[in-house]
Amino acid sequence: MVNEANFDLLANLQLEGCGNKGFKKSTIDENTIIASCDSQITSNIDYNENYIIYQFPDKIACRKEINPTKLGLYTQTNLKNIPFETNTYIKLFDELNDKPISRCTQAINQTPWRLDFEPYQCHGKRKLIIISTSEKFNSYGKQIPQTISKVFQNQLDSKIPFTLVTILPGRKLSKPLLKCEDLADLEKTEAEKFIWQQLNNIRFGARDLHALQNLDLANIVYAKEKLQSVIYLTDNSKIPTDIKYINDKDLSVPIITWKKSGIPLTVLTIDSCLPWIKKAEATECQELTDKTAIKQIQQALKKFLEY
Confidence (pLDDT) at 205: 95
Identify the DSSP state of 206.
B
Continuous segment of H or E residues that includes residue 234: strand 227-234
- Classify domain 126-306 at the CATH superfamily level: von Willebrand factor, type A domain (3.40.50.410)
- 234 close to 132: Cβ distance less than 8 angstroms: yes
- 127 close to 306: Cβ distance less than 8 angstroms: no
Task: Tell me the pairing of strands 178-179 and 284-287.
Answer: unpaired
Confidence (pLDDT) at 42: 64
124/142 Cα distance (integer angstroms): 32
Other Cβ atoms within 10 Å of 18 Cβ, number:
19
Confidence (pLDDT) at 116: 86
Residue-by-residue pLDDT tens, the chain, 307 positions: 445 544 444 444 344 444 444 444 444 445 444 444 444 466 778 999 999 999 999 988 998 889 999 999 999 888 888 888 888 999 999 999 888 999 999 988 876 678 888 888 888 999 999 999 999 999 998 999 999 999 999 888 777 899 999 999 999 999 999 999 888 778 888 899 999 999 998 999 999 999 999 999 999 999 988 999 999 999 999 999 999 999 999 999 999 999 999 999 999 999 999 999 999 999 999 999 999 999 999 999 999 998 7
Q: What are the extents of the domains in the chain?
A: 4-37, 41-115, 126-306
Confidence (pLDDT) at 21: 44
Buried b (16+ CB within 10 A) or exposed e, 161-189: bbbbbbbbeeeebbebbbbbbbbbbbeee
Confidence (pLDDT) at 228: 96
Torsion-angle region of residue 72: left (phi > 0), alpha (psi -120 to 50) or beta? left
